[in-house]
Structure 1
Amino acid sequence: MSRTAASFFIFALLSGIFHLFLTQDRVVTLPLIACGVFCALFLLALIAGRRIKFDPVLR
């Protein structure tokens, strides 16, 4: 996992936890939206990291 993917994962985790501490209702808040954005960026970073680092024949 790249540093970028790890940082997006940590940001998503922290914003999700912050949303849970912020409210008990099922409302959409800014930390919840940020959690969704960071999760999407985390998945994109994982996919991009695989495409860049994958080289079956090292020459």
Structure 2
Amino acid sequence: MSRLAKGLLILAILSATLGCFTTENTLGDAPVVACGFFSGLFLLALVLGRKIKFDPVLR
């Protein structure tokens, strides 16, 4: 996992935690939207960072 993917995962977890444990509705839906945004970027970073090896010789 790349450093970018790790950072986005941490940001997604922190924003989800903030959204779950905030008792008052002072922030609105911002933590939930941020969690979705960071989760999407995390998945994109995982897909782009994956190195696919192709072996043309069938064994």
TM tier relative to shorter chain: 0.7 to 0.9
What letter is aligned with 2:8?
A: F
Q: Give % identity.
A: 49
TM-score (norm 1): 0.75
Higher helix share: 1
Unmatched segments (≥5 aa) in structure 1: 55-59
Q: How far does residue 51 in structure 1 lie from its aligned partner after superposition?
A: 4.3
What letter is aligned with 1:34?
A: A
Greater than 6 Å deviation, 4+ residue runs: none
Unmatched segments (≥5 aa) in structure 2: 55-59
